């Protein structure tokens, strides 16, 4: 991680809930001194209080970065408190869903370097993936710094346009909830076939977790992995015939789900 400038000038974390805490834990583990971190949070957790960071105190005049991690409904009250840090060389990195770069520019000033990021909840175990897009003021060095910070909780990707953020929100941002529901549904189906609930849930969790790990690390594509485990005329093929049905299976269902989530993301972005 590119810690030197952040260590010297400081990092401000506006909001430190589950996502903010996961990122802070990753940064501290990577070597960022707690004394270089300022946190503004009205209800700090016991864990946060014990980390030795500057908590709810006056901020440095020109920190290297301000990470905005408050809930979208709190943005209107929280962001103006940092207005004095705008139009300078402090980078604002936002992980708040539904808040457009233009909103930050309106409050902080058009010369403020701003990067918008969309992480997801597996960041809590260091397995997240974050999509990033910067405004015209953000430099390549600042983009690399944002990537280095977000790499503490998983992978990163860059977007070509901010308009793609709604699709990212619907796919990887909301996606963990789809997977969790898949586990619920698989376990319930196992119970319906005669398994005990605890056993069905254990099998479903391990199957989805293991398959996900395999899909991410194997050289084969997910399609190739699917074919490899599908014997002609066997049980897997029978199940896939239902799941891959063009009208009622996974492709149509997930297309509708992700379209609905993306549409809602666009609505929230318009306020």
pLDDT in tens, 114-173: 999 999 989 888 899 999 999 999 999 999 999 999 998 899 999 999 999 999 999 999
Residue 118, φ and ψ in degrees, nearest 5: -125, 95
> Using CA atoms, how far apart are residues 184 and 60, in angstroms rounded to an integer?
47
* Residue 200: count of CB within 10 angstroms of its CB: 19
| Domain membership flag for residue 168 | no
74 and 41 both lie in a single domain? yes
198 and 250 both lie in a single domain? yes
Within 8 A by CB and 6+ apart from 18, the residues are: 121, 124
132 and 187 both lie in a single domain? no
pLDDT at 271 over 80: no
181 and 114 both lie in a single domain? no
82 and 199 both lie in a single domain? no
> Using CA atoms, how far apart are residues 174 and 99, in angstroms rounded to an integer?
16
Residue showing tokens 């957790």: 45
| Domain membership flag for residue 123 | yes
Within 8 A by CB and 6+ apart from 111, the residues are: 86, 87, 88, 137
Last residue of a domain, one of 133, 161, 189: 161
**How many domains is the chain partitioned into structurally?**
2
The first and second tokens of residue 125, run together, are 């175990």
For residues 87 and 111, the answer to whether their CB atoms sit within 8 Å is: yes
The first and second tokens of residue 247, run together, are 């009208």
97 and 204 both lie in a single domain? no
Residue 95, φ and ψ in degrees, nearest 5: -115, 20
78 and 193 both lie in a single domain? no
28 and 98 both lie in a single domain? yes
| Domain membership flag for residue 166 | no
Q: CA 132, 134, 139 angle in degrees (round to 5)?
A: 120
DSSP state of 231: -
203 and 105 both lie in a single domain? no
pLDDT in tens, 64-106: 999 999 877 788 888 898 999 999 999 999 998 878 999 999 9
- Domain at 243, CATH number: 1.10.3730.10
Last residue of a domain, one of 161, 188, 221: 161
Last residue of a domain, one of 121, 137, 161: 161
Residue 157, φ and ψ in degrees, nearest 5: -140, 150
* Residue 42: count of CB within 10 angstroms of its CB: 9
265 and 232 both lie in a single domain? yes
For residues 95 and 19, the answer to whether their CB atoms sit within 8 Å is: yes
Q: 66: domain range?
A: 4-161
188 and 85 both lie in a single domain? no
- Domain at 87, CATH number: 3.40.50.720
Q: What percent of the chain has pLDDT over 90?
A: 79
Burial class (CB in 10 A: 0-12, 13-18, 19+), 60: middle
pTM of the model: 0.89
215 and 157 both lie in a single domain? no
């Amino acid at each position: 991680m590119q810690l030197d400038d952040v260590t010297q000038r400081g990092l401000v974390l506006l909001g430190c809930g589950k996502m903010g805490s996961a990122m802070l834990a990753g940064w501290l583990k990577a070597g960022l001194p707690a004394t270089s971190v300022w946190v503004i949070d009205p209800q700090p957790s016991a864990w946060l209080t014990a980390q030795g960071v500057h908590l709810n105190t006056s901020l440095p005049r020109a920190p290297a970065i301000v990470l905005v991690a408050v809930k979208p409904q709190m943005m209107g009250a929280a962001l103006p408190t940092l207005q004095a840090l705008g139009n300078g060389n402090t980078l604002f990195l936002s992980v708040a869903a539904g808040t457009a770069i233009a909103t930050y520019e309106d409050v902080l000033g058009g010369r403020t370097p701003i990067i918008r990021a969309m992480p997801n909840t597996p960041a809590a175990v260091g397995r997240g993936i974050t999509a990033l897009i910067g405004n015209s003021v953000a430099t390549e060095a600042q983009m690399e710094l944002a990537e280095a910070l977000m790499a503490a909780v998983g992978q990163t990707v860059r977007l070509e346009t901010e308009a793609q953020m709604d699709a990212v929100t619907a796919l990887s941002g909301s996606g963990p909830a789809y997977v969790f529901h898949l586990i619920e549904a698989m376990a319930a189906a196992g119970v319906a076939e005669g398994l005990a609930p605890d056993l069905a849930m254990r099998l479903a969790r391990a199957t989805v977790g293991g398959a996900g790990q395999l899909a991410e690390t194997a050289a084969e594509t997910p399609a190739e992995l699917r074919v490899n485990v599908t014997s002609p005329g066997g049980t897997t093929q029978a199940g896939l015939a239902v799941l891959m049905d063009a009208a009622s299976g996974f492709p149509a269902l997930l297309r509708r789900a992700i379209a609905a989530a993306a549409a809602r993301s666009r609505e929230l972005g318009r306020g």
